[in-house]
C-alpha cells in the first residue's frame, strides 16, 4: 500500500514538472510568435518607409546607389560595437551637459555680478583709461626701446628696489621737502668772497664732505662694475 502511495506521489511530481515544462514551452512559443509578428510589422513599416523615401528622393532628383547603401549597411554591421560605444559616449555627453548646465549657469550669473561690481567701483573705467596709457606708450616707444628695456630690466628692478628702501625714501623725501621750502624765484647771489666765507660754516663743510665721499664711492662702484664685466 505504501509503495503505491510513493509511486503515485512520484507520478504527481512528474506531472507537475511536465506542466511547468509545457508552460515554459508555451511561453517561449508566444514570445517567438510575438517577435515574428513584430518583425513582420517592422518589415512592413520599413518597406513603406523605404518606398516613401525612394519616392521623395526621386522627386527631389536624388539618385541612390543601391550598392553603396549595401556597403554602408555592411560597414555599420561590422562596426556595431563601435557604434554602440559612440552612442554610449553621446548619452554620457548629454548626461554630463545636464549635470554641468546648472554649474555653468551659476558661473555666468557670478561673472555678471562681478562685472557689475567692478563697473560700480570704477574698475572698468580705470581699465579703459589704462588702455589709453598703453596707446601712448606704444606711440612713443619703438620695438628697439622695448628690447633695450628687456635687456636692462634686471638693472632697472635692482635700482627700483634700492630706491624703495626706507633710508633712500627718507633721503629723497628730505630733498623734496627742502626744495619745496626754498624760494627758487628769489635765490640770493653769492660773490666769491661771500661763498668762501659760507664754505667755512660747519654745515657747508659737512655738505662738501658728503659730496666728496659720494663721488669717491661712485667712482669705486663704477670701477668695480667695469672689472666684473671684463
* Integer Cα distance of 68 and 139 in angstroms: 64
Q: How confident is the model at residue 229 (pLDDT cuts 50, 70, 90)?
A: low
What are the sequence ranges of the domains in the chain? 1-63, 65-140, 143-180, 190-230
Residues 6+ apart with CB under 8 A from 83: 76
Q: Which letter does DSSP use for residue 65 in this model?
A: -
Checking if the pLDDT of 101 tops 80, the result is yes
Q: How confident is the model at residue 63 (pLDDT cuts 50, 70, 90)?
A: low
Which pTM does this prediction carry? 0.34
Q: 168 near 162, Cβ under 8 Å? A: yes
Checking if the pLDDT of 62 tops 70, the result is no
Q: 64 near 54, Cβ under 8 Å? A: yes
Question: Comparing 168 with 42, which gets the higher pLDDT?
Answer: 168
Location of C-alpha cell 543601391: 66
| Mean of pLDDT over the chain | 79
Q: Count CB atoms within 10 A of the CB of residue 168.
A: 12
State pLDDT tens for residues 188-224.
787 878 877 878 888 888 888 888 888 888 888 777 7
What is the enclosing helix (H) or strand (E) of 18?
helix 2-59
Residue 197 corresponds to which cell in the numbers above? 666765507
Q: What's the confidence (pLDDT) of residue 218?
A: 80
Amino acid at each position: 500500500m505504501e509503495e503505491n502511495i510513493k509511486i503515485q506521489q512520484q507520478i504527481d511530481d512528474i506531472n507537475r514538472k511536465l506542466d511547468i515544462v509545457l508552460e515554459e514551452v508555451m511561453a517561449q512559443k508566444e514570445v517567438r510568435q510575438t517577435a515574428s509578428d513584430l518583425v513582420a510589422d517592422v518589415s512592413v513599416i520599413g518597406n513603406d518607409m523605404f518606398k516613401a523615401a525612394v519616392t521623395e528622393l526621386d522627386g527631389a532628383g536624388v539618385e541612390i546607389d543601391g550598392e553603396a547603401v549595401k556597403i554602408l549597411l555592411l560597414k555599420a554591421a561590422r562596426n556595431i560595437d563601435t557604434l554602440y560605444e559612440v552612442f554610449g559616449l553621446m548619452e554620457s555627453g548629454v548626461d554630463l551637459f545636464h549635470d554641468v548646465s546648472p554649474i555653468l549657469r551659476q558661473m555666468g550669473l557670478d561673472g555678471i555680478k562681478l562685472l557689475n561690481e567692478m563697473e560700480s567701483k570704477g574698475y572698468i573705467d580705470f581699465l579703459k583709461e589704462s588702455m589709453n596709457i598703453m596707446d601712448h606708450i606704444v606711440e612713443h616707444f619703438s620695438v628697439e626701446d622695448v628690447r633695450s628695456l628687456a635687456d636692462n630690466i634686471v638693472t632697472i628692478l635692482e635700482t627700483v628696489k634700492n630706491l624703495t628702501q626706507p633710508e633712500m625714501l627718507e633721503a629723497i623725501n628730505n630733498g623734496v621737502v627742502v626744495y619745496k621750502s626754498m624760494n627758487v624765484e628769489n635765490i640770493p647771489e653769492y660773490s666769491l668772497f661771500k661763498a668762501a666765507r659760507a664754505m667755512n660754516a660747519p654745515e657747508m663743510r659737512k655738505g662738501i664732505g658728503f659730496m666728496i665721499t659720494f663721488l669717491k664711492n661712485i667712482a669705486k662702484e663704477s670701477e668695480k662694475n667695469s672689472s666684473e664685466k671684463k
